[in-house]
Amino acid sequence: MSDSCCCGSKKPLFKGSESIPADAIILFDGKDFSGWVKRSDRNAPAEWKVENGYVEVVPGTGDVCTKELFTDCQVHIEFWLPLMADATGQARANSGVYLQGRYEVQVLDSYGLDSQHNDCGGIYRTKAPLVNACRPPEEWQSYDIFFIAPRFNECGVKIASARISVLHNGVWIHHDLEVHEPTGGQLDDNVSEPGPLMLQDHGNKIRYRNIWARKL
C-alpha cells in the first residue's frame, strides 16, 4: 500500500513500531512523565516512579492527571497488575483510568471472575463489561477507549450523557454505553468542562505504559 497522498507528499499514517496514529498526543512514552501532575495540586509534578519503560503507582502519592485536557477522545493505555494472591475484591491490584477525570474504567485483578461493574473493564457503579477479557496478573494488558463527552444546549442544559466504548485486550467490552453521571472518585462534577485523563492511586503498585490519546 502506498504511503503517499495524491499530491505526492509523504504522509505516514503511523509513527514508530507501536502503530501510533500520526495525530496522537503521546501522554507517556516510557521515559517522560512530565505531562502529568498530582490530582491534589495540579501545579505539582506527579510523583509516580518511572523505570524500565513504565510508570508505577507510588502508593500514597495520589491520583495523577494529564496537563492536557480532553472532551471527545480515543485513549490507548497499557497496564500491568502485580500478583496479590492474599488480597481479594477491591483490594486486589486496584487502580482506574478516568476519562475527563470523571468516568472510571476500572483496573483490577479480576482474572477468571464473573465480572461485575466494579471489576476490571467495568464502568464503575454503572455497567459490567460484556465479557471478562482479563489476562492473569503480571501480564501486560491494554484498553482502547472511545469517549464522547456529554452535550449541552446553548442554555447549558444537558441534552446527552457521556458515551463510552472500550476494547480490553482487543475485545469489545462496552459498546456506546451511556454514562449518565460521574462514576465515583471523580475530580469534580463539572461535566460540561474538558477534563484530564486521570489514573488512580488505590494503594497498589500498578504499572502503566504506552499512553496516547487522539482528540476527536
121 binds Mg ion (CB under 5 A): no
Q: Looking at beta carbons only, is 20 or 120 nearer to Mg ion?
A: 120
Among 62, 96, 101, 121, binds Mg ion (CB under 5 A): 96
* Site size toward Mg ion, by CB under 5 A: 3
Grid cell digits, residue 87? 488480597
The three grid cell numbers given for residue 66, joined into one nine-digit string: 494529564
Nearer to Mg ion, 24 or 103 (CB): 103
Q: Please give the biggest Cα pair distance in the chain.
A: 61
The identity of residue 58, as a single letter, is V
- Give the binding range for Mg ion (CB under 5 A) out of 15-23, 62-70, 79-87, 197-205: 197-205
Contacts of 161 (CB under 8 A, 6+ apart): 150, 178, 179, 180, 181
Cell numbers found for residue 166:
472500550
The answer to whether 196 contacts Mg ion (rule: CB under 5 A) is: no
Minimum distance from CB of 176 to Mg ion (Å)? 23
**Residue 211 vs residues 20, 138, 145, 166, 214: alpha-carbon distances, Å:** 10, 18, 11, 15, 11
The CB-of-95 to Mg ion minimum distance in angstroms stands at 6
The 154-193 contact track toward Mg ion, x by CB under 5 A, reads ----------------------------------------
Residue nearest to Mg ion (CB): 96
* Minimum distance from residue 96 beta carbon to Mg ion (Å): 3
Report in angstroms how near the CB of residue 25 gets to Mg ion at its nearest: 24
- Binding part of the chain for Mg ion, among 2-10, 15-23, 96-104, 147-155 by CB under 5 A, reads 96-104
Q: Which stretch binds Mg ion (CB under 5 A): 19-27, 91-99, 132-140, 160-168?
A: 91-99
Q: How far is the CB of 152 from Mg ion (least distance, A)?
A: 28
Binding site for Mg ion (CB under 5 A): 94, 96, 200
